[in-house]
């Protein structure tokens, strides 16, 4: 999820001015986001929900990675077993 935290997000200006690009980690660590003609006062509750979601996404990604590694190991074991069980013909 580090890549997501380092990704730049476009923040539209609430006053109709130019939008601003900011990295997500900077947004989540700020109490407000300023643009050319306005400002967003960020609520800690909303930022906390995003941080929790990022943690959940990281947990799911880790769980998926472990499951994938387990399935790959099983695949190669089955592949080796298939070659071992095969009828061998030598010419």
**Is 90 a domain residue?**
no
CA distances (Å), origin 86, targets 20, 77, 79: 63, 14, 11
Q: Model confidence over 32-82: pLDDT tens digits?
A: 999 999 999 999 999 999 999 999 999 999 999 999 999 999 999 999 999
**Is 15 a domain residue?**
yes
Amino acid 8: pLDDT:
95
Residue 26 has pLDDT above 80, yes or no: yes
Amino acid 82: pLDDT:
97
**Is 91 a domain residue?**
no
Residue 3 has pLDDT above 80, yes or no: yes
Bridge partners of 33?
40
Containing domain of residue 58, as a range?
Answer: 2-85
The CA-CA-CA angle for residues 83, 64, 73, to 5°, reads 20
Amino acid 2: pLDDT:
84
Residue 13 has pLDDT above 90, yes or no: yes
**Is 81 a domain residue?**
yes
The radius of gyration computed from the CA coordinates of the chain, to the nearest angstrom, equals 24
Amino acid 66: pLDDT:
98
**Is 43 a domain residue?**
yes
Domain count within the chain = 1
Give the containing element (helix H, strand E) for 62. helix 44-85
């Amino acid at each position: 999820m580090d890549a997501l935290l380092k990704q730049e997000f476009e923040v539209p200006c609430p006053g109709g001015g130019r939008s601003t690009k900011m990295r997500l980690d900077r947004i989540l660590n700020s109490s407000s986001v300023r643009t050319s003609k306005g400002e967003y006062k960020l609520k800690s509750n909303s930022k906390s929900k995003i941080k929790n979601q990022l943690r959940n996404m990281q947990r799911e990604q880790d769980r998926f990675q472990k499951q994938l590694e387990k399935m790959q190991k099983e695949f190669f074991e089955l592949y080796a077993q298939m070659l071992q069980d095969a009828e061998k013909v030598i010419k």
